[in-house]
Structure 1
């Protein structure tokens, strides 16, 4: 059975690609995704397994449906982002220069490059973004204090997506 985070990663990758239809079957669990003008993606699992909870993505509604069911699944609304407790107008955003997977530390089990409250300089490495098996170190670009980490470790990030908020010095 597929885990929710695995399905989310597949959805994001398919959504970013020019692929219109995708099908994956592993150990009897099957995921089929089709892009259309409405950007609806359907995920299916065999009936003998527990149904997958609905998965939502900002760009495309997603719903779970059993493999044998003929009725279309209803799209699920994307979650609304939580209100930011920080005034971002005077903060510098460190953004991802590419699509990839965000990592806070140099390797599993090691401490994160930076935490909220840490001081950074323009050449200080703050994270890694992995793209196509290449690990790209992302630098702070400014001197200041990390106010907030905006991305979870292991999360897929988009080009230009804010990763950190920095209060410039």
Structure 2
């Protein structure tokens, strides 16, 4: 291939298509030409913003200490593996995949997290009972955020 055969307009259009679709790479091939355009993978990292600690009145300090000594909610947390939007059902108006009290098998879909127009099923890591669903339908979720608690 010579430089006059090089089609920079095609490369630019392919790069624009990557941006538009969110794909990581795209390839075009003819008998005499092969072009592959790729971008490095995007690594998402969550950074927690500092939150000011609430100031408790002296009368409530003892109550707060007693509450912190109480055992935390038991069960296995199912975290979000990505940033996205949580959907509790397969489509609008459909019944939710699970709700508190639902019995689930290992691998059963608990909900869906949509990221970059890709629907990602979040599955049960083990068989059990859903203790609580901690997100609402259509709610944005963060990486590592607990979505469901299993008993």
TM-score normalized by the length of structure 1? 0.48
Q: Determine if the alignment matches structure 1 residue 92 to structure 2 residue 67.
A: no
Structure 1 counterpart of 2:112, from 128, 136, 143? 128
Q: How does 1:114-153 map to 2 (within 5 A)?
A: 114-153=98-137
1:151 and 1:59 map into 2 onto residues whose CA distance is: 20
Q: Determine if the alignment matches structure 1 residue 163 to structure 2 residue 147.
A: yes
CA deviation digits over 1:47-66, x for unaligned, max 9? xxxxxxxxxxx8489xxxxx
Instruction: Note closer, same or farther for the CA distance 1:103–1:144 as it changes in structure 2 (3 Å cut).
Output: same
Q: CA RMSD in A?
A: 2.7
2:150 and 2:94 map into 1 onto residues whose CA distance is: 23
Which structure has the larger Rg over C-alpha atoms? 2
Question: Who is 1:38 aligned against?
Answer: none
State the structure with bigger RCO (CA 8 A, min sep 6), 1 or 2: 2
TM-score normalized by the length of structure 2? 0.54
Richer in strand (by share): 1
Structure 1 residues without counterparts, runs of 5 or longer: 1-15, 18-57, 62-76
Q: Determine if the alignment matches structure 1 residue 106 to structure 2 residue 90.
A: yes
Give the CA deviation at 1:126. Answer: 0.5
Richer in helix (by share): 2
The 4+ residue runs of structure 1 with deviation greater than 6 A are none
Structure 2 residues without counterparts, runs of 5 or longer: 1-43, 55-66
Number of paired residues? Answer: 92
